[in-house]
Structure formats: C-alpha cells, structure tokens
Amino acid sequence: ADYDQCVDLLFSIPNNEPVGFRVPCCDSMNATSPCFFAELFGKTTPNGNFLTLDSSVFTIFTPDDPALPKDLVEEPDGRGRFQKYVPEDRGFVNSIENYPYPYTIGNFCWELPGVMPSDWNAFHFHEAYNPYTVEDLQSAIDITAIKQGLFTLVFHPHGWIRNDQIVSLIDHAVFHHGNKIKFLSFKEVSDRLTENLLLGQSIRNEKGEDNGVRILDLNGDGFMDVVIGNDNLRITRVWNPEKNEWIDFSFPVSFHSVDGDGNRFSNGIRFGIFGENSQVGFLYANGNESRGWLFDGSEWVEEKDLVPAAQGFVTATGGKDTGVRLIDLNGDGSTELLNGGPSAGQVLVWK
C-alpha cells in the first residue's frame, strides 16, 4: 500500500479520527524527506483525507545544551549518552538536537519529534532488551521534564524491547515526575495544540489547505509565538514566560486571498528580521497589492518601503511562489532579500 492508501484505510475505521503518521524505518534510514512532506503529506488523498501531525524526525539530547546536567547527557568517558545511538554504519539525517517540542513543517504539519533512541536504534547499538537502553530512556524522560517538553517514544512490536521494559519507563515517569506530566495520545496532543495554542484554528482547514497558521519568535526571547491570518481569525499571540500566559494583538492581513470566482490563493507573505533593531516583519506583493509591516512589540506597524520598488516585483502570482526569500546571508542577524522572481537577480538589504 502507498501513503494515500494507508491514510484512507485509517479514515475507513468507524469512529476513528486519525491525525498522525510515522514514516516506516525513519529510525534506521533516511526515509523521511522534504519530498515526503511536500508531495505526500501536504496533499490530500484521492478520497479527500489528510493528516495534521507527523513523528518521523528524532531529537537527540547532547552535552551542548547548557540547561541539562552533564550526568544526564554524557557517559563517564565523555561520550554523548544519546549520540552513541545514531547509526554509524550509514548516513542518518532524520534528527534535530535538544528540541523536544512540537514544531511546524511546511505550514501544514505538526512535527512531534521522537526521542533517540528508538528500540531499533538501541538494538542496533547493543542488541535487544539491553537494560542500558531503559536507563538511557529514563534519563531522556528526566531531560524532557527539565525542558518541559514532549517525550515521544518510538518502539515496535518486534522483539527489540520487552513490554515490562516499557512499563518500567512509565513507572519511572510517574514516580519521579508525578502530576508534572501527562500521558497523551497523538490525537490529544493535536487537540491541545489547536485549542490552547491556536484558539481553535487547525493548522489545515477543512479542505486540507494551509490555514494561515505560523509559529515563530516575534520578540527574540527564545520562546515561540503565534500568528494566525485566515478567514476566521487574524491574531498575534506573544508568549509571556514570566506570567505563563499569552498576550494577544491583532494581525493585519490574511495569508490568502479569494478571487471573484471563489478560488483561494496564497498572498506570498514572507517573514524576516529587519534593521539595526532586529525587528520581525513581513512583506508580500501578489500582483494586486504590495504591503509590508514591522512588529514593534505590541502591534504591527505598516512600513510601505519594506517592499522593493523594482518593477514587476512579486512574492506570489496567482498563488504560485515566485522564488522570493528572506535569508540572513552574512550572519549579522538581519535578513537580506533574495529575489528569484520575474525581476530576478537581486540581493537587497533593508536600511
């Protein structure tokens, strides 16, 4: 069966609400790829079904994280406790480091990174049922609690880890962390993200399209914030870590427009960091209008000069990406504008 058939099969189960997918063998080979997200996950099946959550990337805890006690992330010989599980006999790139939190891919997918090691990684490194696997995963639970993150366990009914070893992980979590933790299904995680983070706006609309949800750090404090711009809601949500609460502001535009025939298309909004004050801003030019804004910490202020005056400059036309990107090319903390669109061949700096 292919991806579409698997998803449609999940949706055919009565009273079932599937939300997530994990690419087969994502812990043992580079089965996860940009192609998977862009050409499979980000589409809908022939029956119109789609998912909103993936768990095919692994997070690896390393000694580079200053928030973590060394005894949790290092072996006595100085070797990384979790890095040792990355397969050395093959290339492996399905990983991030020290980030046990949900994040978005392609504006249509929540990624819930699995914790390294999976039971296969452990089997590959030191054979099945090894007690050190359990000890390391217990340390990963402790690390996740310190970071107030998400511990996503990856294991198989295949003889690489025993059921009593899984139970010992559960017992460890309950005994050491008690009411600070909650055991959730992927559906429950998805529901909480939608309700508590996105105010009821799913990352994909009822047709499986981009629903105008963006997760980014607006004020440079290291905590992710939320921008929503769709037909139902236009809001900016900045997280206040001292008070553990959201501060809500308006958001000026929608990420999409609808033409006279009811066709929905992207406005081509591009976010970047601008100027000596490192202000987050965004711009777009869709052939009908060209606009730009900067965020001053409490509201979006329109900055018309943010959009280049070059004739024919567009970030999207008819909803299609024209190749304009905002990227920090020289490492100074501000983004430059790369114009690969119809008026191509430019690199512009905001002054």
Cα-Cα-Cα-Cα dihedral of 222, 223, 227, 228, to 10°? 150
pLDDT of residue 36: 97
pLDDT of residue 261: 79
Q: Indicate if 98 and 236 belong to the same structural domain.
A: no
Give tens-digit pLDDT for 183-214: 999 999 999 999 999 999 999 999 999 999 99
**Contact partners, residue 141, CB within 8 Å, separation at least 6:** 151, 169, 172, 173, 176, 177
Q: Cα(220)–Cα(279) distance, rounded to whole angstroms?
A: 9
Q: Indicate if 132 and 222 belong to the same structural domain.
A: no
**Number of structural domains, the chain?**
2
Look at residues 336, 343, 338, 341 and name the one whose alpha carbon lies nearest to residue 320: 341
Q: Indicate if 108 and 55 belong to the same structural domain.
A: yes
Q: Indicate if 225 and 118 belong to the same structural domain.
A: no
Residue 247 identity: I
Q: Indicate if 23 and 153 belong to the same structural domain.
A: yes
Q: Indicate if 70 and 215 belong to the same structural domain.
A: no
Residue 290 identity: S
Q: What is the extent of the structural domain holding 321? A: 207-349
pLDDT of residue 64: 96
Give tens-digit pLDDT for 259-269: 777 778 999 99
Q: Indicate if 170 and 58 belong to the same structural domain.
A: yes
Residue 227 to residues 51, 76, 240, 347: CA-CA distances in angstroms?
21, 44, 15, 27
Residue 221 identity: D
The answer as to whether 107 is a domain residue is yes
The answer as to whether 201 is a domain residue is no
Q: Indicate if 175 and 215 belong to the same structural domain.
A: no
pLDDT of residue 343: 60
According to DSSP H, which parts of the chain are helical?
Answer: 3-11, 34-36, 70-73, 119-126, 131-146, 163-177, 186-192
- Asked if 128 and 160 count as a contact pair (C-beta separation under 8 A), the reply is yes
pLDDT of residue 25: 95
The answer as to whether 198 is a domain residue is no
Identify the three-state secondary structure at position 137: helix
Q: Cα(315)–Cα(307) distance, rounded to whole angstroms?
A: 10
Q: Indicate if 121 and 244 belong to the same structural domain.
A: no
The answer as to whether 247 is a domain residue is yes
Q: Indicate if 220 and 312 belong to the same structural domain.
A: yes
Given a cut of 50, the residues of the chain with pLDDT beneath it are none
According to DSSP H, which parts of 51-197 are helical?
Answer: 70-73, 119-126, 131-146, 163-177, 186-192
Mark which of 180, 196, 230 sits at the end of a domain: 180
Residue 49 to residues 46, 55, 109, 164, 344: CA-CA distances in angstroms?
7, 18, 14, 37, 38
Secondary element (H or E) of residue 314: none
Q: Indicate if 62 and 162 belong to the same structural domain.
A: yes
Look at residues 149, 104, 112 and name the one whose alpha carbon lies nearest to residue 271: 104
What six digits make up the tokens of 307? 């959009």
- pTM of the predicted model as reported, rounded to 2 decimal places: 0.94
pLDDT of residue 310: 77
Q: Indicate if 24 and 166 belong to the same structural domain.
A: yes
The answer as to whether 136 is a domain residue is yes
What is the DSSP code string of 1-44? Answer: --HHHHHHHHHTSTT----EE--TTTTTS----HHHIIIIITS-
The answer as to whether 196 is a domain residue is no
Residue showing tokens 């460890």: 172
